[in-house]
Structure formats: C-alpha cells, structure tokens
Chain A
Amino acid sequence: MQEWTGLLPAFPLAGFVLLVLSRGRMPRGIAGVIGAGSVGLSFLLALTIAIGVLNNGGQAYTTVLWQWMQVGDFAPGFSFYVDGLTLVMILVISGVGFLIHLYATAYMADDPGFARFFSYMNLFVAAMLVLVLADNLLLLYLGWEGVGLCSYLLIGFWYDKPENGYAARKAFVVTRVGDTSMAIGLFLLFSQLGTLNIQQMLMLAPQQWSVGSGIAVAASALLLGGAVGKSAQLPLQTWLPDAMAGPTPISALIHAATMVTAGVYLIARTHVLFELAPSVQLLVAFIGLATLLMSGFTALTQTDIKRILAYSTISQIGYMFLALGVGAWSAAVFHLMTHAFFKALLFLAAGTVILSLHHEQDIFRMGAMRRRLPVSFWCFLVGSAALTALPFTSGFYSKDEILLAALGQEHYGMLLWTGGVLGAFLTALYSFRLVFVVFFGRDRHQGSSHGEDHAHAAVMEAMSPVMFFPLLLLGLLALGGGFIHVPVDTVFGAVHEEVHASQFLHALMILIPIFGVVIAWGVYGSASYQKAGEHLRERLLAAPIGRRAYRFWFSGWGMDALYQWLFVNPFMVLARLNRKDAVDQIYGWVAQAARVGNSVVVMLQTGNLRWYAISLVGGMVLVIGLGVWR
C-alpha cells in the first residue's frame, strides 16, 4: 500500500475540486457523500498503510511523487515521509476528520452554503495531510499556509455578518505573524545546512552545531515562533477564541484534527533542533505552562459554551507544549491524540446542544438539559471526564505522562509540575462548571430571547443517526483512547527513563481533578448547595478585587486590549496619517508639475500668426548668435 501514500491528500483534494467546480449546483446528498466520503477514503487508506508499516516493524519510508523544482542544489521534491509520528497524525486527521465531516452533513443540512462548506473542509484536511506527510520543510510550509487559508475561509464561513469576517481576518493576521517567523527560520536552516529535507537536516544539525550554539538557538526559536502562532500559544493565542465565529464542526476540526496541532507536530518533528537549544526548549515548557494557566483562569469566567471549549483547547495545547519542553515527545503526541478524541467529542456534543436550542450559546440560558438532551449529556460528560483527566479515561493517561515528565525536568521540575497540577485543577473546575450549568440545575431556557410559549416545547434533541454515530465512536475513543499505544518510539529514539514519583505525588495528581469536580458541583451543581454557591459567587463578585479579577480573566487577561493598544491602534493612526499615501504624493507632484507647465506653455499659443513669426525669428537669431559668438 505504500506506493499509494500520495493518494492520502489526493482524495480530499479531489473532493474539494469537484465541490468547487459544481458551484453549489450539486444536490446536497451527493455533495455530502463526496465531502465526507473523500475523507473517509483517506482514512481507510491511512489505516491500511498504518497496518502495513506496523507489521513491518515500524520501518519509515519515503515516497517521491515528483520533483517540485530545481534551483542549483536546492531541489525540494513533492515527496512524503511516513514514520510512526506521521502515522499517528494521518490517522487522527483523517479519522477524526471523517467523523466530523459525517456529523457536519447533518449539522449543516439546512445551510445554503452546504457544498461550499464541504469544499473548504476537504481542502483543510488535504492541506493538513500534506503538512504532516511532507518530507521537506518547504512542502510542510505549503500545507502550513494551506491550513491557514482554510481556517480563514471557514471561520468567516458565515461572511454576511461583519464580526465573523473580523474574526477570520484576525485569525489570518495573527497566525501570519508566526508564519513569518517560521519562514525566516526556514531561510536560516537552508542557508546553514544547505537542505530543507527534514531527515537530512536532523542528521546534519547535530554534526555541525554544538549544543546551545547561537545558530541552533536562533533556528529553533524561529520555528517555535511559527508553532506558537498556529497552535495558539502565548503570546499569539488571541485568534482562537474569536475563531468560534465559524460553524461548530469547523471548531471541532480546527481544535481536534487540524490546525492547532500543527505547531505541536512541527516541534515534535524537528525535536533534534530543539534538543540542540536547551534554552529554547525550556522556553517551550514555560510558554506551555503560562498558556495553560492563563487560559484555565479565562475559561472559568466565560459564558459562551464554545469560548469555554476554545480556552480549554488553548490550555490543553499548553500541556502538549509543556511536554515538548521537557523532552517528553511521545507524551506530547499521545496527548495530542487523546485531546483530538475528547475535544472533537465535546465540540460535536456542544454543537447538538446549540442546534437543539436554536443557536443559543450562552450557558446561563441553558440548564437542566440532562433529560431533554440525553445523548449530548452523556457525550459531554465523557468528554469532560477525559478533559479533566479523571482516572481511566484517555486524558488521564496522557496528562499523567506529561506531568510525570515535567516532574523529571532537571532544574524546574517541581515548578512545572505544580503549575501543571494547578492547571489540571482549573481544568476540572471549568469543564464541570460547564457540565453542571448546562445540564443540571434550573431550566433557564424558558422565557429566554424567544419569549414565546412554544419556544420551550421546541427544545428537542436534534439527533440523527449520522450525528449519533460519530458521537458514539468519539465517546468510546475518549474513554478508551488511553490504551492505544502511540508507535513513536522509533521516531524519538530512546524511551525516557521512568520517573519515579512518590505515592503521595501520584495520589495528588489523581485526587486534585476530582477535588475540582467536587468544588464545581458545590458551586454550580447540587440543588442543596445552589443557594450557597450563588451566594458565594455574589460575594466574590461584590468584592472589588473579585470583580476586577473576573473582568480581567473574562477578557482573556487583557491580551486583546493590550494588542489593540500596542499594535492595532498605532497601525490605525499610521494608516490615518498615511491616508493620502506619501509615496503616491510624489507622483502627484509630477502630475501637478506637468499640469502647471502645460498652463504656462499654453499661453504661448495665441493663435496670432505674427507672434509665431517673431518667436521663430527670435529663436533663429538666438541659435545663429550662439553659433557665431561661441
């Protein structure tokens, strides 16, 4: 099957082309079959390839499709490299992507842009597959930018609302900052190593650079810049919450299967470079830690169901960065996979809730949905349990690995571990706050914005088999995904030595999320404590410091305001100053001079014949005079 590797991204790409060429005239049924089916075919192919490779002892191989270009020694190919890491990525992308596509055929059934939606989704998956399959950084960059383009198209999918267009532009511009850094990193790597082929690079770099050398630090820091932008980490995380403007399946696709995991993949793929630059690697860990804590606090205060999930994604990717930063490469990839399962599950379940409530996203207008939306409830519960890392769910194993690896870090192990555990506590708090507010307590949907009597009765679970099947499968994966062994040992070399944490620390790691769930239950869940919980909330908000903290967290630690003040406003001022366009002004002067000259010269043309004659004579006298008295 290996010779068919090139078909992996070709299926979704063909789907994209077909759907685009049909220009929306294709019947919905066929468009849905093409959209979901192409990704499904990719998944089947990925599965057969994976089985083939794993039976072969995980032997990596390269498939050259064709030579892309040749400029001197620089000859990047259109070639795919498949090893354990790639296998995990293509399986997650095509598998979870397929389930999301399947779900979306029902979710988007009434949308006028049905075919357009699936064409973008297919292109998204194709670009992401190219990104993870690429055997050189230039091809990877092609996929990287393709993913960025598709995220722009999909976030702004409902483009008739200006704020959606704004969110799309924001995502594009903010990730572009990271992309620029990455492009410079590619130039640097090529100028130093003379190749962009990843495997050659990883082989050459340790031979040419010593550990901690300036070039290695610069190269890995520039690549980190790109990863930070795509994976929505500090300081470029601001685009992700706004990316919730798109339809919910898009959010699931961006958060679970594509886009945000690209940064994690990039760092894992070029991990040798990061090992050569320990300072940058430590920076990765601290970026992850800071991001996961910050977004954890922010998620606590949000009221929009999708924004809470968005911040939880930022926080979970913070965990992956933490793992990358402490050298636990396989733990990061493992968490990437389990996160894909439960985050896709959470988003799709949130989608059914939103759809059932006629596009209501404020969690304080929901409540008591447990009985009315049983399937969504159970899916959400499973997803939240995995997100919180309750024992025996998939998230438990991956987060456990990450925290243990963090503890094993030489100098800052205890600090990183404590931060990670605090983050786990926050995760428990915000995810079960979400569960309890939405599915337990009083039904607050009644008499909401609809204000009609039958609005209440209209709450019915929007659940068709094509929506139920992906939810069921993702739910099973979110529960049992922890038992999947990620076949990346051959990629990352020697397995890290087991970190021996004391029984006490281990127990702490298990108990703290449970403790968080209990607190969330006390404040938001149980009927008996509801009053006390509400009282506590009011007391906290009444205190000036509580209110200020709430507002600060709610705004995402003021990052948006900071960037508005730091970058957007100066840019706007410059734009306003330059509204008349200084460069254009120069050409304006040229035109003005020509116009003035014309109006002067025009006066000479009087129409008077004798005037012409005298100027003729004058000119002649002048010329002859010059000739004679030279």
Chain B
Amino acid sequence: MDAIPYEHGLILAAILFVCGLLGVLTRRNIVFVLMSLEIMLNACGLAFVVASARWQHAEGQIMYLMILTLAAAEVAVGLGLIIQMYRRFHTVDISVLNEMKG
C-alpha cells in the first residue's frame, strides 16, 4: 500500500494551523475565535498522528486522544463563558471587551 508521504501530512497540518491562527487573530466574533482555536488544536493533532505513523510509535495517537479530550473540555468551558459574556454585555465582539488594560 502506497502510504501518503508524511511531509504532505505535516504541510496540511501547518496550513490548518495557520488558518486557525489567522482566524483567532482576525475574527472579532468570539464564537469564531473559539472555532478557529478548535481548528488549531486539530492541526496539532494531525501533526501528532502523522508523526506517529512515520515513526511507528503509538504515543502520537495517544497524544491525539488527549488533545481530543482537552478540546471537548475547552469547548464546554469556552461556550459556557461565551454565554455568560453575552448575558452580561449583550455582545460577542471581543474588541469591545477591553476594560482590563493598564
């Protein structure tokens, strides 16, 4: 079976990561920021999986399971915070919420 070269997998992971990063940096709606964070996390996971396939090690896949768990927990907490935020400030625009400055 012809395996996909691991460079391709890593490049895809990098592209996904940068997409997510750009989303985090440019989006003002906090829901989209959270989604972009998910994309970054998944990019990391992809990199782990590719690496574990390349070196025939299982740790990378276990790492992916942990990232999955982390992402689920993060989404649960993050969405909860977003709901609280919307209730209090009636907005999801993070550039409005800049009161904590020096």
User: Which chain A residue lies CB-closest to B24?
Assistant: A613
Q: Tell me if A609 counts as interface (CB < 8 A to partner B).
A: yes
Nearest CB on A from B51, distance (A): 17
CA distance A614 to B99 in the complex (A): 18
**CB atoms of B25 and A617 under 8 A apart:** yes
Binds B, one of A216-224, A482-490, A542-550, A599-607: A599-607
Q: Which of A603, A608, A610, A617 has the most CB of B within 10 A?
A: A610
Q: Tell me if B100 counts as interface (CB < 8 A to partner A).
A: yes
**CB atoms of A602 and B25 under 8 A apart:** no
Q: Say whether, besides A608-B95, A609-B94, A614 and B25 are in contact (CB < 8 Å).
A: yes
Contact with A along B17-40 (1 / 0, CB 8 A): 000010011101000010000000
**CB atoms of A607 and B25 under 8 A apart:** no
In chain B between 76 and 102, which residues have their CB closer than 8 angstroms to a CB of chain A?
94-95, 97-102
Contact with B along A568-608 (1 / 0, CB 8 A): 00000000000000000000000000000000011111111
**CB atoms of A610 and B25 under 8 A apart:** yes
**CB atoms of A606 and B101 under 8 A apart:** yes
CA distance A604 to B100 in the complex (A): 12
Nearest CB on B from A625, distance (A): 15
User: Which chain A residue lies CB-closest to B21?
Assistant: A617
CA distance A607 to B94 in the complex (A): 10
Nearest CB on B from A614, distance (A): 6
User: Which chain B residue lies CB-closest to A602?
Assistant: B102
CA distance A610 to B94 in the complex (A): 8
Pick the residue among B21, B28, B33, B99 that contacts A607 (CB under 8 A).
B99
Residues of B within 8 A of A613 (CB): 24-25
CA distance A609 to B99 in the complex (A): 11
Nearest CB on A from B67, distance (A): 18
CA distance A617 to B25 in the complex (A): 10
**CB atoms of B100 and A607 under 8 A apart:** yes
User: Which chain B residue lies CB-closest to A608?
Assistant: B98
**CB atoms of A605 and B102 under 8 A apart:** yes
CA distance A603 to B102 in the complex (A): 7
CA distance A605 to B101 in the complex (A): 5
In chain A between 488 and 527, which residues have their CB closer than 8 angstroms to a CB of chain B?
none
Residues of B within 8 A of A605 (CB): 100-102
Residues of B within 8 A of A614 (CB): 25
Residues of A within 8 A of B24 (CB): 610, 613
In chain B between 1 and 56, which residues have their CB closer than 8 angstroms to a CB of chain A?
21, 24-26, 28, 33
Nearest CB on A from B43, distance (A): 14
Residues of A within 8 A of B33 (CB): 609
CA distance A602 to B102 in the complex (A): 5
CA distance A602 to B101 in the complex (A): 8
CA distance A570 to B100 in the complex (A): 56
CA distance A610 to B30 in the complex (A): 11
Nearest CB on A from B32, distance (A): 12
Contact with B along A130-166 (1 / 0, CB 8 A): 0000000000000000000000000000000000000
CA distance A351 to B97 in the complex (A): 86
CA distance A617 to B37 in the complex (A): 13
Pick the residue among A601, A603, A607, A617 that contacts B98 (CB under 8 A).
A607
In chain A between 91 and 129, which residues have their CB closer than 8 angstroms to a CB of chain B?
none
**CB atoms of B95 and A610 under 8 A apart:** yes
CA distance A601 to B21 in the complex (A): 25
Nearest CB on B from A166, distance (A): 53
Residues of A within 8 A of B101 (CB): 605-608
**CB atoms of A606 and B25 under 8 A apart:** no
CA distance A606 to B102 in the complex (A): 7
CA distance A610 to B99 in the complex (A): 14
CA distance A22 to B95 in the complex (A): 74
Residues of A within 8 A of B99 (CB): 607
Residues of B within 8 A of A604 (CB): 102
Residues of B within 8 A of A603 (CB): 102
CA distance A613 to B94 in the complex (A): 12
CA distance A617 to B20 in the complex (A): 12
CA distance A605 to B100 in the complex (A): 8
**CB atoms of B21 and A606 under 8 A apart:** no
CA distance A606 to B97 in the complex (A): 11
Residues of A within 8 A of B102 (CB): 601-605
CA distance A574 to B25 in the complex (A): 61
Nearest CB on A from B99, distance (A): 6
Residues of A within 8 A of B28 (CB): 610
Q: Which of A602, A604, A605, A609 has the most CB of B within 10 A?
A: A609
CA distance A609 to B95 in the complex (A): 7
User: Which chain A residue lies CB-closest to B26?
Assistant: A610
**CB atoms of B97 and A609 under 8 A apart:** yes
In chain A between 178 and 227, which residues have their CB closer than 8 angstroms to a CB of chain B?
none
CA distance A617 to B18 in the complex (A): 11
Residues of B within 8 A of A606 (CB): 98, 101
CA distance A603 to B100 in the complex (A): 12
Q: Which of B25, B26, B28, B97 has the most CB of A within 10 A?
A: B25
CA distance A604 to B102 in the complex (A): 8
Task: Given contacts A604-B102, A606-B98, A609-B33, list 10 more A-B pairs with CB under 8 A.
Answer: A601-B102, A607-B97, A609-B94, A609-B97, A609-B98, A610-B25, A610-B28, A613-B25, A617-B21, A617-B25
Q: Which 7 A-B pairs have the closest CB atoms?
A: A607-B101, A607-B98, A602-B102, A605-B102, A607-B100, A609-B94, A608-B98
- Chain B interface residues (CB < 8 Å from chain A): 21, 24-26, 28, 33, 94-95, 97-102
- Contact sample, A vs B, 22 pairs, CB 8 Å cutoff: A602-B102, A605-B100, A605-B102, A606-B98, A606-B101, A607-B97, A607-B98, A607-B99, A609-B33, A609-B94, A609-B95, A609-B97, A609-B98, A610-B24, A610-B25, A610-B94, A610-B95, A613-B24, A613-B25, A614-B25, A617-B21, A617-B25
